[in-house]
Every structure is written in structure tokens, then in C-alpha cells.
């Protein structure tokens, strides 16, 4: 019997509610750990080093790429994001399941690996709703919001690469759909 853990990849366009849903899933499923990624973007006001991300310089990140230390990496919104190969493989080998919050670019790279994984895409109900959510969030300029919306269209076009697609129109319903996926896949 294989006692390795399972990797849960969750992707979504910026503003689709992925972070909120991931927090709910992690609170409910105690056997699941969050895989903390590296990024070169500055922390948002409530983010903490080593809890939300490992915040590194572009120079440090490029060194990790050069050394082959990353399972995946991507440049998104002019910042680099990546997942430590060592962190993921050690946890999975120890039988721990990990949840990875990842963009479509990175997910495509990991999907090519032989890791035991479940892939989930969180969809906004529409681009209009997504635009409203991004503006309401109040963290980005109009220029950045427009870039995020353009990227969202590209990401949504790739949703069929994922095993599961959950539309986050109603948070409670999206939560229930995710719970069902995790209950089914964790058995």
C-alpha cells in the first residue's frame, strides 16, 4: 500500500475567492497542510513571512531556479512565484497531504510530474463579477486590475485541464462542493 500523501492543487483567477475557500478547507480538514510558496512580490498588509509566503528578492528567486530547487515557478503580474521541490516531496513522502494555492502556469508544470495529485479550479461566476470583486478589494490600481482581468480570461480558458471546476457564485455552495471533493479524494 502506498502511504504517500496527496497534493491538492487549487488555481483560480485573482479575485475568484480562492484564498477564502482555501482557509475554510484548511480549517475543516485537519489532515491537510498548506504548502507555502516563494514570491518576489511585497507582502500585503495582513500577510506574514513563512505563513502566507516566503518573500524573497528577485536575485534569490533566480538562484533557486538556477539550482533546480523549485517544483514549479512562474512570473505572474511582474513577480515570481514558485514552490520548493524539497518541501513538497518531503511532506508527501512522509504521508502528509498538502494543499497548494497555485496559478495556472505553475499547475501546468506540476501536472507533468508523477506526483499523486488532485486538481481543482475555482471559477468566478463571470468576468463582470470578478472585476467588481477586484475593485472592491481596494488593493490594486486600475491598471493592475485590468491586467488581472486579462490574465483571468486566459486562465479560465484552461479550466478543463483540471479534474474539478467549482464556480464561486455563492460562498456556501462553493464550500460544500469543495468539501465533497476533499471527502471523496481523502478516502
Could you state, in order of their start, the residue ranges of all structural domains in the chain?
A: 7-186
Question: What is the model's pTM?
Answer: 0.86
CATH 3.40.50.300 for domain 7-186, yes or no, is yes
| Contact (Cβ atoms closer than 8 angstroms) between residue 134 and residue 148 | yes
Kindly report, residue by residue over 117-174, the tens digit of the pLDDT.
Answer: 999 999 999 889 888 888 888 778 888 889 889 999 999 999 999 999 999 999 999 9
Q: What is the pLDDT of residue 1?
A: 45
Kindly report, residue by residue over 21-43, the tens digit of the pLDDT.
Answer: 999 999 999 889 999 999 999 99
Amino acid at each position: 500500500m502506498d502511504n504517500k500523501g496527496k497534493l491538492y492543487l487549487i488555481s483560480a483567477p485573482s479575485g475568484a475567492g480562492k484564498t477564502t475557500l482555501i482557509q475554510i478547507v484548511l480549517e475543516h480538514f485537519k489532515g491537510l497542510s498548506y504548502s507555502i510558496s516563494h514570491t518576489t512580490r511585497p507582502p500585503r498588509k495582513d500577510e506574514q513571512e513563512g505563513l502566507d509566503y516566503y518573500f524573497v528578492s528577485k536575485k534569490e528567486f533566480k538562484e533557486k531556479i538556477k539550482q533546480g530547487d523549485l517544483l514549479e515557478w512562474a512570473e505572474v503580474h511582474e513577480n515570481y512565484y514558485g514552490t520548493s521541490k524539497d518541501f513538497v516531496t518531503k511532506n508527501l513522502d512522509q504521508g502528509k497531504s498538502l494543499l497548494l494555492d497555485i496559478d495556472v502556469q505553475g499547475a501546468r508544470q506540476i501536472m507533468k510530474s508523477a506526483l499523486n495529485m488532485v486538481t481543482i479550479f475555482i471559477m468566478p461566476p463571470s468576468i463582470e463579477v470578478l472585476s467588481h470583486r477586484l475593485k472592491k478589494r481596494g488593493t490594486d490600481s486600475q491598471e493592475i486590475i485590468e491586467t488581472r482581468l486579462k490574465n483571468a480570461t486566459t486562465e479560465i480558458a484552461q479550466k478543463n485541464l483540471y479534474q474539478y471546476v467549482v464556480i464561486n457564485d455563492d460562498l456556501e455552495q462553493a464550500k460544500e462542493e469543495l468539501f465533497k471533493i476533499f471527502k471523496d479524494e481523502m478516502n
